[in-house]
Amino acid sequence: MRSPMIAAVTAAMAAGPALAAPAVVADIPPVHSLVARVMDGAGEPGLILPPGASPHGYAMRPSEAGMLSEADVVFWVGEGLTPWLERSVGSLAGDAVSIQLLEADGVEVLEMRGEAAFGHGEEDADGHDHDHGHDHGDEDPHAWLDPENAKVWLDVIAATLAQADPENADLYSANATAGRGELDALEARIETRVAPVRGRPFVVLHDAYHYFEHRFDIEAAGSLSISDASDPGPARVAEIRDLIASLGPTCVFAEPQFEGRPIGMITEGADVRTGILDPLGAGLEPGPALYPALLDGLSEDLAECLAGG
């Protein structure tokens, strides 16, 4: 049965088409998906970073630069994820409303973990190791992998678009409300999926999953690289090999964006299973359905490897 809110939106849309929406651009596929969910029925946002591309050091194509220059509103995670985009937003979209989502009120921001083997810093009452502020050390920009942050962003997106496009404000608000409900169901699915394998060790290619780990209490043991923009040195490789040896049977995860980056340097001779974790949606079709599909796929791949499948 449809909710009263969804039924009301459906009835409003049946009465006539929504007025033209502003030109909206998003940086990466997960953010684009959330914006597309809010804009559903009013318009479609543009996407700067195509699926499968790395956010670090990306060179925009002329069509993407042109899209940015025509934007009325730009939603992006922030310069910590796409440092090259800050200058482009300023020079090409200087008159646009620019929203750095990592700085939005209500977003929980975690710190980057610089060590190869993840330790435990200051813990809260629930045993979680994290930072609530925006000014303590280096911020981890992968905040979209926490669906609670995505819920905050849905509201920020809806409020921003309502100011830019008051005629469609009710539609944006209703879509954000429906989207939050969908993320509640997503969280419940993921919790059911990862609960049986919680506590089993795994190592990741780079430290991209802290937000997902924190939200669902399923912590990685370490990462081969600090970020996808850096290659590990010999000392870090040796440390991760020692970590894997000490853990016993372990899962080691690569990423579709970096399948050419060898993980054999840390898995050779070790009792490990290997898998792929995708933090960006490389193989998914951009649009409203990408975000839940991304987190569903990530949790499925994680649980399958940890379960020994």
Please state the three-class secondary structure of 180-244 as a single string.
Answer: HHHHHHHHHHHHHHHHHHCCCCEEEEECCCHHHHHHHCCCCCEEEECCCCCCCCHHHHHHHHHHH
> What does DSSP assign to residue 19?
P
One domain, residues 184 and 207:
no
How many CB atoms within 10 Å of residue 136?
A: 11
Low-confidence residues of the chain: pLDDT under 70 = 1-19, 119-137, 227-230, 257-262, 309
Query: What's the pLDDT at 258?
Result: 62
Q: Retrieve residue 263's tokens.
A: 């993980």
CA distance 290 to 282: 10
User: Is 208:258 a contact under the CB 8 Å cutoff?
Assistant: no
Q: Does 226 lie in the same domain as 183?
A: no
Average pLDDT, the chain: 86
Q: Do 88 and 11 fall into the same domain?
A: yes
- What are 226-243's pLDDT values in tens digits? 765 567 788 988 999 999
201 and 175 within one domain: no
* % residues pLDDT > 70 (the chain): 84
User: Containing domain of residue 150, as a range?
Assistant: 4-104+138-190
Q: Is 97 in contact with 75 (CB distance < 8 Å)?
A: no
- Domain CATH for 41: 3.40.50.1980
Residue 204 covered by a domain? yes
Write out 46-88 in H/E/C secondary structure: EECCCCCCCCCCCCCCHHHHHHHHCCCEEEECCCCCCHHHHHH
Q: pLDDT tens digit string along 34-79?
A: 999 999 999 999 999 998 888 887 899 999 999 999 999 999 999 9
Q: Of 162, 190, 218, which residue sits at a domain end?
A: 190
> What per-residue confidence (pLDDT) applies to 137?
41
Q: 0.75 exceeded by the pTM?
A: yes
Both 175 and 205 in one domain: the answer is no
